[in-house]
Amino acid sequence: MNKVVLRQPQVADGTSIWHLVRDTGVLDVNSPYSYLMLCKFFSDTCVVAEQEGQIVGFVSAFRLPADQQTLFVWQVAVAESQRGKGLGKALLKALIRREACKNVRYLEATVSPSNLSSEALFRGFARDFATRCEVSECFPAHLFPGGNHESEMTFRIGPFRYQT
Ligand SMILES: CC(=O)NCC[C@H](N)C(=O)O
């Protein structure tokens, strides 16, 4: 099986990332522009996974403006072909080891109740770092238009007790 390489995204990856997110069938598909913007202005806290020239994984994140010690993970996308191989956790670990994430003490992400694999990912990540994972409501379903979006629950992981 060919090696999966984890790297910082470039703007040329934007459309492939958009396709990957769309093809997961579970994530909110943001505009193609938003993925170009993430690759250009937030690449220090984004990671892509590439295999044989194909983007097969992606994580986007940024430090919270109101709390620079917390890293907010926006989306984690893993291609069907890579499911169940630990790629999601590998993406998060590559992210948290970045220089741009130095001294991050908490990681936050939102997960919808039906996304059991995402819940398992974050709970497993907290376990691996021997730290807490606290869940609270972030965006109740009624805040979304059209009545067809689940609530989003915040998974707050930390504190990271040693240099991450
Ligand atoms: C961690 C993660 O992928 N959360 C998804 C949040 C939201 N539903 C989205 O897809 O952007």
Average pLDDT over residues 154-161: 96
pLDDT digits (tens, 9 = 90+) for 75-119: 999 999 999 999 999 999 999 999 999 999 999 999 999 999 999
Give the whole-angstrom CA distance, residue 135 versus residue 155. 5
Ligand 1 pocket test, pick from 20, 78, 111, 151 with the greatest ligand atom count within 8 Å of Cβ, gives 111
- pLDDT at position 163, please? 56
> Which class for 133: exposed (0-12), middle (13-18), buried (19 or more C-beta within 10 A)?
middle
Cα of 152 vs centre of ligand 1, distance in Å, is 8
At 20-77, the pLDDT tens digits run 999 999 999 999 999 999 999 999 999 999 999 999 999 999 999 999 999 999 999 9
**Which of the listed residues 110, 114, 139 should we mutate to test ligand 1's pocket, taking the one with most ligand atoms within 8 A of CB?**
110
Residue extents of the structural domains in the chain: 5-158
Q: What topology is assigned to 5-158 in CATH?
A: Aminopeptidase (3.40.630)
Asked if the model's pLDDT at residue 164 lies above 90, the reply is no
Supply the ipTM of this predicted assembly.
0.99
- pLDDT tops 70 at residue 162: no
Q: Beta partners for 6?
A: 49
**pTM, 2 dp:** 0.96
Q: In the numeric block, which tokens belong to residue 79?
A: 């291609």
Q: What residues does 156 pair with on adjacent strands?
A: 108, 134
Average pLDDT (129-143) is 98
Mean pLDDT of 124-137: 98
Per-residue pLDDT at 2:
86
Q: Which two tokens mark 47?
A: 């990671």
